Amino acid sequence: MTLFDLARELNVSISTISRTLSRPEMVAPTTREKVLAAVKQFGFQPNEIARSLRTRQTKTIGIIVPDITNWFFGVIVKAVGEVAKSNGYSVLVCNADEDPTGEEHALNLLRERKASGIINCPMGANLKLWRSLKKTGIPVVELDRISGLEKVDAVVLDNEKAAEMAAAHLIGLGHSRIATIAGPQHLSNGRARLSGFQNALRKSSVPLPPDYVEFGDFRERSGHDAIKRLVSLRDPPTAIFVANSEMAGGAIGALRECKVKIPTQLSIVAFADARWARYLDPPLTVIAEPTEAMGRCAAELLLARLNSRSASHKLHMEVFPPELIVRKSTAPVRLAKARCT
Amino acid sequence: MTLFDLARELNVSISTISRTLSRPEMVAPTTREKVLAAVKQFGFQPNEIARSLRTRQTKTIGIIVPDITNWFFGVIVKAVGEVAKSNGYSVLVCNADEDPTGEEHALNLLRERKASGIINCPMGANLKLWRSLKKTGIPVVELDRISGLEKVDAVVLDNEKAAEMAAAHLIGLGHSRIATIAGPQHLSNGRARLSGFQNALRKSSVPLPPDYVEFGDFRERSGHDAIKRLVSLRDPPTAIFVANSEMAGGAIGALRECKVKIPTQLSIVAFADARWARYLDPPLTVIAEPTEAMGRCAAELLLARLNSRSASHKLHMEVFPPELIVRKSTAPVRLAKARCT
DNA sequence: TTGTAGGCGTTATCAC
DNA sequence: GTGATAACGCCTACAA
């Protein structure tokens, strides 16, 4: 059913109906009633595709996340969806699978689909692509990570500080053999978390042998593998900082397999959602992020841009504070050896 | 940049370019090269909106999930996205927030947006709406739950059996005071899990006092509250079956608060993802679902319908087998009293 | 092989 | 206040 059909049914013109739907006040009350009644009766729903083509706006905000399976991004997507919805927008979710190619694919999709704006968690895709997008005037806000793209709004965690807090906590517990499972260094948060960690150790003159820095890819498996290596070192660490929750899961699994006792033999603090971490064995000491607030913020930033096309608006870089939640996976140092059997 | 612009640039007609893009073999090799080169050079991307309007198909599959934050649905969305992508489709994800109103909102969105097909995890929305959708010919497949809608493909877990397995496990451990935190009874899986549970107890002549059946809403909070009530019963249960993972989280939290020891004072088996459950304290005995397979299956079913518009295709009702994974949260009965302080 | 023209379902700009 | 009519960007007979 189209405007045309409905118009014929009511003996009015197409434009009258269209007007009734978009600017009711510009139509006579009597006809308005009549039209509205018919719309309801026939369950008429305007074709958004056609509308988008004509108005040249889709009222869609695209979001590209690395892993929709990760609770963090689930919350992000949900938060974005909520503010989008309450502003008459809908959300096109793209899962890029923590892969630059996936990000590019998603970006192209969003361009073709004429998304009004894009929220992106950069995975290292070709910057050129993003630059060319910016030229089209589509607003972008980066979330959780920053790609190096010039002049974009961004909302991130204070990752340096987060890592420092984690390291300081471990140092405060007397540890001096502290390792880390860092994230990919082509990601801004991976870098920041590592450098924050390094800074904290340096400040306290705690040595950091190269062996003690493992690099993962933010997926579970890599956390697992890293632990296997760390634990079979000649001088294994007594404490570990893991740079994201997925890898933390893998790490804990590996520690189980190696029968390494937490926190007796090894203290562990990780980036993680505040949700399951506290039910773990033992309850995990974590760095928590204000995830939902970050998602909302990103969406609001984007909508602000969308609503005031005056590009004059100054750039926003929102930095959210991390929180250290101390639970039972960290304890004062005891120089027991942890070695994988 | 549109076909028109590109055409002018190349001194060919719009249709030639259009053809080159959609049916390259129908265009002279020389011009094809020329056009393709220009397309690449200018980074031309066809406007999918216009294309959709013209071809009357959006190549979009809509999916409505109750809670994108829930790992289960995260995996579903990811799986659907993968098979969609490899078939040239994209996915419009709607989070309905475990609420019939949200489901209706999502459905309307998907209709307006002319989704090619819809995967839905019913939350109890007005069946009339779905019936009217079916009349438009848009294929639907129901996932995880069934709404009662006539003639739809569906992919679900064998929920009855799952609950029976859980209950049988508890009974086998010698428990005779077994409670359940059931899901909403307006959802098919909520009902099936409860009735499977009841059946198993009946078969073994284990009594089930009304007090022992708590109803939650599949959210964390309700699991928490249910435990508080169960635990302060005059004769508290010695074992509990929780009908989904969110409520299980809440339940475990509440048990912690009440200082009820698992499994010493209380055995607990729950529906849950296989992911974090094994790192819990204690590692959780669970009913696990082949989540990814279910997601893929739903997407494939939908695509099959989309590809063969011959509605003759017979109906599919795919039932997946649950798996009981025994870990440490269940143990032989010991009649210690669990009472909340 | 290529170009012309009509139309997909809207909205916006005009007259009336 | 209401009704023609021309786009929006693309695809697809059909004509050349």
Segment B237-257, tens digit of pLDDT: 999 999 999 999 999 999 999
Mean pLDDT for chain A?
93
Establish if A50 touches chain B: CB-CB under 8 angstroms: yes
Give me the pLDDT at residue A275, please: 73
Per cent of chain B over pLDDT 90 is 87
pLDDT of residue B142 exceeding 80, the answer is yes
Lowest-pLDDT range, A73-77, A242-246, A277-281, B154-158?
A277-281
Establish if B251 touches chain A: CB-CB under 8 angstroms: no
Give me the pLDDT at residue B166, please: 98
Q: Which residue has the higher pLDDT, B340 or A72?
A: A72
Pull the structure tokens for residue A47: 């074709």
Mean pLDDT within B278-306? 94
A279 three-state secondary structure: helix
Beta pairing partners, B119: B63, B141
Where residue A48 falls among pLDDT bands split at 50, 70, 90?
A: very high
pLDDT of residue B340 exceeding 70, the answer is no
Mean pLDDT within A296-324? 89
Count A/B contacts: CB-CB distance under 8 Å: 118
* Dist CA B160 CA B140 (whole Å): 24
Q: Give the nucleotide nearest to B13 (CA→C1').
A: C3
pLDDT of residue B321 exceeding 90, the answer is yes
Dihedral class, residue A124 (left if φ above 0, else alpha if ψ from -120 to 50, else beta):
left
Which residues of B are less than 8 Å from A115 in CB distance?
none
**Closest residue by C-alpha to C1' distance, nucleotide C2:** B16
Q: Quick: pLDDT tens for B84-140.
A: 999 999 999 999 998 999 999 999 999 999 999 999 999 998 999 999 999 888 999
Determine contact, residues A285/A169, Cβ cutoff 8 Å. Answer: yes
DSSP per residue, A116-156:
SEEEE---S--HHHHHHHHHTT--EEEESS----SS-EEEE
Count other C-beta atoms under 10 Å from residue A24's C-beta: 12
Q: Which residue is it, tokens 């692509």?
A: A129
Q: Please state the φ and ψ torsions of residue A109, each to the nearest 5 degrees.
A: -55, -50
Where residue A273 falls among pLDDT bands split at 50, 70, 90?
A: confident
Q: Give the nucleotide nearest to B35 (CA→C1').
A: C2
pLDDT of residue B163 exceeding 80, the answer is yes
pLDDT of residue A334 exceeding 80, the answer is no
In degrees, rounded to 5, the angle at the alpha carbon of residue B166 between the alpha carbons of residues B160 and B168 is 95
Give me the pLDDT at residue A308, please: 81
- The secondary structure element, H or E, covering residue A180 is strand A178-182
pLDDT of residue B42 exceeding 60, the answer is yes
A259 three-state secondary structure: coil
* Dist CA A243 CA A280 (whole Å): 18
Which residues of A are less than 8 Å from B91 in CB distance?
93
pTM as predicted: 0.93
Mean pLDDT within B311-315? 71
Determine contact, residues A322/A161, Cβ cutoff 8 Å. Answer: yes
Give me the pLDDT at residue B310, please: 59
Give me the pLDDT at residue A217, please: 94
Distance of CA B93 to the CA centre of its chain: 12
Q: Please state the φ and ψ torsions of residue B188, each to the nearest 5 degrees.
A: -60, -40
pLDDT of residue B341 exceeding 70, the answer is no
Q: List, in sequence order, every beta strand (DSSP E) within chain B.
A: 60-65, 90-95, 117-120, 140-143, 153-157, 178-182, 213-215, 239-242, 267-271, 285-288, 317-320, 323-325
Mean pLDDT within B293-298? 98
Q: Which of B150, B154, B153, B101 is nearest to B124 (CA)?
A: B101
Lowest-pLDDT range, A199-208, A238-247, B268-277?
B268-277
Q: What is the DSSP letter of B279?
A: G
B238 three-state secondary structure: coil
Give me the pLDDT at residue B274, please: 65
Q: Quick: pLDDT tens for B173-229.
A: 999 999 999 999 999 999 999 999 999 999 999 999 999 999 999 999 999 999 999
Q: Give the nucleotide nearest to A13 (CA→C1').
A: D3
Where residue A280 falls among pLDDT bands split at 50, 70, 90?
A: confident
Determine contact, residues B20/B40, Cβ cutoff 8 Å. Answer: no
In degrees, rounded to 5, the angle at the alpha carbon of residue A73 between the alpha carbons of residues A306 and A199 is 100
Establish if A19 touches chain B: CB-CB under 8 angstroms: no
Cα A161 to Cα A158, A197, A199, A204, A218: the distances in Å are 6, 9, 10, 15, 19
Give me the pLDDT at residue B338, please: 55
Give me the pLDDT at residue A274, please: 65
